Amino acid sequence: MEMFTYALLTTVLAMVAVQNLYLMVGLAAVQALLLGAEAAWIGWQHGDTALYWAAALTVAIKAVVIPLFLRYIIRRIGVIHILDSTLTVKVTLLIAIGLTFVAHYATGALAEVGGIESEALAAALTLVLIGAFLMVSRRVALTQVLGLLVMENGLFLAALATTRGLPLLVDVGIFFDVLVGALVMGLMIYRINATFESIDTSKLRRLQG
């Protein structure tokens, strides 16, 4: 259990550090794989078959279908390196580590008032915060989709950590949204690239006021 949590944290910090889009997608896939494994493990411990389904869906959608689709988009638009990050890698990593601490203390506070205690919840909140941070700190549109995926992974982990996951039907609905969302955003990136000849979102600033 703890091993999974630390491995998850490693993948998200690595995502913050790398500059290659293929590598980022690969790390997101590994993260989803770990998440699936953790769900299956908890399911096995508690004899909860619904979690097997959730684990299978996590792996199928977040570790296979979406990464393959994002790789396809990267190949089509031909942008592989993120060279235009607004912050240097060192600063981004420092901020990400800072967010890890913030998440840890926030969960501590939650444990005090709510009696919800869990190491995994701290990791989940870390994923959500770093995912949001990835979305605002990187300008390449594709990293924003990846940031959103990291946030979703964090939410899944949060539910897993607090209550052994949401009801399966709700999870299925969320997976459906994630899948459709990735498809819609991917196609939008494709169109943005065709129209702006770039996927640098800092160029999206015509609308103001």
Partner 1 sequence: MSTEAPVLEVPIPAVPPGQAVTWAGGVWSGLVLVLSLLAARAVFTAGPVRSLFGIVYVDSLGALMLVLIALVGLMATLYAGSYLRHEQKRGQVTALQHLHFFGWFHLFQITMIAAVVVENIGFIWVAVEATTLVSAVLVGFYNRRESLEAAWKYVILCSVGIAFAMLGVILLYTSGVHAGLDHREALNWTSLMAIAPNLNPAVVRMAFALALVGFGTKAGLAPMHTWLPDAHSQAPSPVSALLSGVLLNIALYAALRVELITRQASGAGFTGNLLLTFGLVSLGIAALFILVQRDLKRLLAYSSVEHMGLVCVAIGLGGPVGLSAAVLHMVCHSLVKPVLFFAAGNLGHRYHSYHMERIRGACRAMPLTGGLLIAGALAITGMPPTSLFLSEFGIVAAGFAAGRAWASVVVLLALAVAFAGLLLHVKEMALGEAPHGIQIGEGLDWRALPLLVPLALAVLLGIWMPPAVADALRQVAAMLGGGL
Residues that bind partner 1 (CB under 8 A): 110, 113-116, 128, 131-132, 135, 141, 144, 148, 151-152, 155, 158-159, 162-164, 166-167, 169-170, 173-174, 176-177, 180-181, 184-185, 188, 191-192, 195-196, 201, 204-207, 209
> What is the phi/psi pair of residue 194, to 5°?
-70, -35
For the bound state, the minimum distance from the C-beta of residue 10 to partner 1, rounded and expressed in Å, comes to 22
For the bound state, the minimum distance from the C-beta of residue 78 to partner 1, rounded and expressed in Å, comes to 19
Q: Is the Cβ of residue 77 or residue 192 nearer to partner 1 in the bound state?
A: 192
Q: Token pair of 16, please?
A: 């913050």
Cβ-based neighbours of 93, under 8 Å, separated by 6 or more: 13, 16, 17
Q: Is the Cβ of residue 3 or residue 188 nearer to partner 1 in the bound state?
A: 188
For the bound state, the minimum distance from the C-beta of residue 169 to partner 1, rounded and expressed in Å, comes to 8
Q: Is the Cβ of residue 94 or residue 112 nearer to partner 1 in the bound state?
A: 112
d(CA 32, CA 48): 20
Q: Is the Cβ of residue 3 or residue 86 nearer to partner 1 in the bound state?
A: 86
For the bound state, the minimum distance from the C-beta of residue 199 to partner 1, rounded and expressed in Å, comes to 10
Q: Token pair of 140, please?
A: 């390449």
Q: Is the Cβ of residue 90 or residue 113 nearer to partner 1 in the bound state?
A: 113
